[in-house]
Amino acid sequence: MAEKIIDPWGSELVEDYEKIVKDFGLEIFDCKIFPHPNKIMRRGVVFAGRDLKQIANAIKSKKKFYVLSGIMPSADKIHFGNKMVVENMRYFQEQGAEAYILVADLESAAARGVSLKEAKERALNFHIPAFIALGLDPKKTKFYFQSENIKVTHLASETSKKVTASEFKAIYGSLEPGRIYSAFTQVGDILYPQLKERMPGIIPVGIDQDPHIRLTRDIVRRTKDKYKFFAPSSLYHKYTPSLDGGLKMSKSKPESCIELPEDPKQVCKKLLRAKTGGRDTVEEQKKLGGEPEKCIIFELYKQHLVEDDKELDKIYKNCKAGKLLCGEDKKNCCELMTNFMDDLIKKIEQAKKEVKDLEFIR
């Protein structure tokens, strides 16, 4: 069973998304379930979920539901995973969801030694503006800091009694007290929007965060008669691969990682060395065509840089046909990436001015 455990605090790579879907009993994501799916939904970057029907129904029947995600202010940069989460949050906002963003300052203080004061400054000066820059609509979003929301503590304390040690261990593979404490804080976060009014909610996350979803869903099921919470739905996206072809970008390999934001010139240098689906020689590539499904540059287009499906399709076909060679393609990618970064940096600066007008739940 140990191999089935995903560690939300670790950096284990998910090598086989299909296996994950099967082992964890996830639903394979079919973008037809939602109206007007966004690009990562349409392109299979969003690959799985839990209980998506209740969200689809809420959208369809215009019933209340929520979408929730968190900011971890221990990091001083965000990454492409955050970008996809924001993209999905934006999508559900547009479909009528109440959006919640929590700043996990308790977690970053406890696990990373970032003081609550520092965490607050970072969140206000960078993370929240960056989320807004990436597309979150601040006017339709409720923000809070874990350290200021005692109701989250109420939920955490109460739900902590509903799970045995062996159940917890089966989900997390660990019984370290610090992990247990913070897991229940996350359960509190996930259920918090339902305190005033019970409603379905969806949590877009990386697959490494699934244990928190499972724990919360187990607790909701177990306390159904008493609390009548809706079990949270969840939505999983694939990782953005490392530029050298590894399954997940990670700061531990800075040459294969693009930070958000990062100086475009530096990024373009990194792109030059990225793994592609090119053949050994130009002649061969012109003859056989490239292999975009193995190409990190193409993956960047698909996940992040190319909005229009037709344009993406054109790149794909030109590559396959041997018409688009890797050198030219990397130049194109560099241009798109530069536009993206310039735009992001500008939008973050703009968003910083909006932060002072935000209201935080206490």
Please list every residue from 126 through 165 that binds a second copy, using CB under 8 A.
147-150, 153-154, 156-158, 160-165
One of 13, 111, 336, 358 touching a second copy (CB under 8 A): 111
Report if residue 180 touches a second copy, rule: CB under 8 A. yes
Report if residue 227 touches a second copy, rule: CB under 8 A. no
Report if residue 118 touches a second copy, rule: CB under 8 A. no
Nearer to a second copy, 154 or 317 (CB): 154
Task: Give the tokens for residue 272.
Answer: 């030059």
CB 96 within 8 A of CB 48: no
Nearer to a second copy, 17 or 168 (CB): 168
Measured from the CB of residue 149, what is the shortest distance to a second copy in angstroms? 8
Measured from the CB of residue 176, what is the shortest distance to a second copy in angstroms? 5
CB 334 within 8 A of CB 271: yes
Nearest in space to 297 (alpha carbons), one of 251, 344, 258, 343: 258
One of 37, 56, 181, 195 touching a second copy (CB under 8 A): 181
For 209, list phi and psi in degrees, rounded to 5: -95, 5
Nearer to a second copy, 107 or 259 (CB): 107
The interface mask with a second copy, positions 66-105, x = CB under 8 A, is ----------------------------------------
Alpha carbons 323 and 292: distance in angstroms, whole number = 12
One of 178, 251, 327, 335 touching a second copy (CB under 8 A): 178
Nearest in space to 339 (alpha carbons), one of 273, 269, 261: 261
Whose tokens are 């009548």? That residue is: 228
Query: How many residues bind to a second copy according to rule CB under 8 A?
Result: 33
Alpha carbons 55 and 91: distance in angstroms, whole number = 12
Measured from the CB of residue 106, what is the shortest distance to a second copy in angstroms? 4
Alpha carbons 240 and 2: distance in angstroms, whole number = 25
For 9, list phi and psi in degrees, rounded to 5: -100, -5
Nearer to a second copy, 113 or 281 (CB): 113
Please classify residue 258 by burial: count the beta carbons closer than 10 Å to its beta carbon, then call 0-12 exposed, 13-18 middle and 19+ buried. Answer: buried
Report if residue 116 touches a second copy, rule: CB under 8 A. yes
Report if residue 110 touches a second copy, rule: CB under 8 A. yes
Question: What's at 212, amino acid-wise?
Answer: H
Measured from the CB of residue 158, what is the shortest distance to a second copy in angstroms? 5
Alpha carbons 122 and 78: distance in angstroms, whole number = 12
Whose tokens are 């079919």? That residue is: 30
What are 115's strand-pairing partners?
none
In eight-state DSSP terms, residue 3 is G
One of 102, 109, 191, 341 touching a second copy (CB under 8 A): 109
Please list every residue from 183 through 202 that binds a second copy, using CB under 8 A.
183-185
Please list every residue from 23 through 52 that binds a second copy, using CB under 8 A.
none
Alpha carbons 57 and 132: distance in angstroms, whole number = 27
Measured from the CB of residue 223, what is the shortest distance to a second copy in angstroms? 11
Q: Which residues bind a second copy (CB under 8 A)?
A: 106-107, 109-111, 116, 147-150, 153-154, 156-158, 160-165, 168, 174-178, 180-185
